[in-house]
Amino acid sequence: MQLKYASVLIIDDDPDVLTAVRLLLKPKVKDIVTEKNPENIPSLLGLKRFDLILLDMNFKSSINTGNEGLFWLRKVKQQSPEAAVIMITAYGGIDLAVRSLKEGASDFVVKPWQNEKLLITIEEALQQQDKTRSRKKTLSAEDDNVLPVIGESEAMEDIFYKISKIAPTDANILILGENGTGKDLVAQAIHRQSLRKDKPFIKVDVGALTDSLFESELFGHKKGAFTDAREDRVGRFESANGGTLFLDEIGNITLQQQAKLLSVLQNRQIHKLGSNDSVPIDIRLICATNVPLQELANDSRFRKDLIYRINTVEIMMPPLRKRGDDVILLANHFIKAYCSKYMKACPELDGKAADKLKQYHFPGNVRELQYTIERAVIMTEGSRLNASDLIFSPIESVNSKLQQEEDTNLENLEKNTIMRVIEKHQGNISRAAKELGITRTALYRRLSKYDI
């Protein structure tokens, strides 16, 4: 966790210490609380969650054990086990401070301290606390058969902070980012940390829905509403009632579909095809797209009023190339996952392989890294995963080659363009046709013509 997002509690019976630390930290942290009387610790922890606690080792209190700091440290860890605790001690109390580390303290500082040293100690304690939380979250997610959101970079710390703030609310969320950055995982993480976590999480790839399927899939239909409607169907909005509805690829829906979606979101009710009755809905909406909606809106291809409706809070997922050493953290996670899946001994990622991963730009982001590691785990036989075991996406190689060719033949240009767009949408013909500005039938004719 970054210092600027931290909530800090300082407990010391010396008012000068409280004033000095408050003046030092107030402009650097989210909020800070000071307290002279340790007897108030339980009530303070009951009222508010603190990320970091600075706790004096010696108080003029009724405990009189000679190691009051250890007593209150145990109380803190019982009530707030995830909080990082830094003990404050005088030179004579260093032995007790060392004992406090065994009791769960993150570190200790000696009076009088240097401000720079204190700040470093606090930042290191928060970073260690974050790593511990990440490991716990990862294990929990794996136990629930849900892929975790993993990262320790500053960019991902911002994402985790936003998730923690917005998850308990019912605010509509718009998640932006390139393909493969993990937008769907963030949507699931928001749901798991929300007040609706025990209710359904329903995902719909709305970009793949044709106009004829859009209403039936989202709002449901009554038997006989159209030719193939042989029975009543519950739509995704109704299935998600009480929970979270995740609409993926929202940027690819038509203006007509946008108008229908906007009406439902405004009125908070749906009308099934073939029925005049309204059905009230109670959903938390999360949308995602890799398309810049504002640019579409400026070109009159996306309704601005719908953007406002779905975008109470916006989360921008960083591409993997901007996440620093997260690539190694993720690679090791995928190595363990696929070794377990394929019942193989886990190879260790060697230095040159790690360098190769850090130097590659990963146009397919985390998804491309995942497939790269899966392929490497399957093929490698040794105890180490070497640089030569890492083979990056052949699709991207084809794309790069096509982009570099200077072929001015009209048919070749059309063929290459079709190949790039289909590969971009991972074989989804509907999306490819939409981007190319032609019908699915016309695209199929061209695929047949060029034997693609």
Q: What is the mean pLDDT of residues 144-170?
A: 83
Average pLDDT over residues 164-186: 94
- The span from the CA of 295 to the CA of 228, in Å, is 38
CA distances for 24 relative to 107, 110, 115, 248, 353, angstroms: 19, 16, 8, 45, 43
| DSSP code of residue 82 | T
Q: In this predicted model, what pLDDT tens digit does every residue of 320-373 receive, in sequence order?
A: 999 999 999 999 999 998 998 898 888 989 999 999 999 999 999 999 999 999
Distance CA 175, CA 182 (A): 10
Name the least confident of 12-16, 87-91, 170-174, 341-345: 87-91
- Specify the pLDDT at position 98: 74
Cis peptide before 363 (omega within 30 of 0): no
Span 58-87, average pLDDT:
77
**pLDDT at res. 196:** 94
Question: Is domain 395-449 given the CATH code 3.30.1050 in the classification?
Answer: no
Mean pLDDT score of the chain: 85
The mean pLDDT of 203-223, rounded to a whole number, is 88
| Distance (Å, whole) CA 148 – CA 140 | 8
**Exposure of 447 in the CB half-sphere (CA atoms within 13 A):** 17
Q: Which of 51, 130, 81, 176 is nearest to 329 (CA)?
A: 130
- As annotated, the residues of the chain forming the CATH 1.10.10 domain(s) are 395-449
At a CB cut-off of 8 Å and minimum separation 6, what does 265 contact? 285, 306, 309, 310
**CATH 1.10.8.60 spans which residues of the chain?**
322-392
| 3-state SS assignment for residue 168 | coil
Q: In whole angstroms, what is the distance from residue 200 CA to residue 153 CA?
A: 31
| CA 376/CA 392 separation, integer angstroms | 10
Output the six-digit token pair for 426: 């991972």
Question: Which fold is adopted by the domain 154-316?
Answer: Rossmann fold (3.40.50)
Task: Enter the DSSP assignment of 347.
Answer: P
Of the pLDDT bands very low, low, confident and very high (cuts 50, 70, 90), residue 149 is: confident
Name the 3-class secondary structure at 101. helix
Q: What is the pLDDT of residues 25-40, one digit of tens each?
A: 999 998 899 999 888 8
pLDDT for position 422: 79
* CATH 3.40.50.2300 domain span(s) along the chain: 3-133
Residues 260-275 have a mean pLDDT of 92
Percent of the chain's residues with pLDDT above 70: 89
Contacts of 370 (CB under 8 A, 6+ apart): 330, 334
**Topology adopted by domain 322-392:** Helicase, Ruva Protein; domain 3 (1.10.8)
Least confident of 18-32, 398-412, 431-445: 398-412
Residue 64: which residues within 8 A CB-CB, separation 6 or more? none
CATH of domain 3-133: 3.40.50.2300
CA 109 to chain centre: 34
Among 224-228, 259-263, 415-419, 428-432, name the one with the lowest average pLDDT: 224-228
Crossing angle (nearest 10°) for helices 154-166 and 183-192: 40
Using CB atoms within 10 A of its CB, is residue 182 exposed (0-12), middle (13-18) or buried (19+)? Answer: buried
In terms of pLDDT, which residue wins out, 412 or 78?
78
Residue 397 has pLDDT above 90, yes or no: no
Q: Is residue 320 classed as helix, strand or coil in its secondary structure?
A: helix
Residue pair 251/302 in contact (Cβ under 8 Å)? The answer is: yes
Quote the pTM value: 0.59
Q: How far is CA 391 from CA 97, 353, 414, in A?
A: 50, 11, 29
For strand 233-234 and strand 220-221, is the pairing parallel, antiparallel, or unpaired? antiparallel
pLDDT in tens, 302-317: 999 999 999 999 999 9
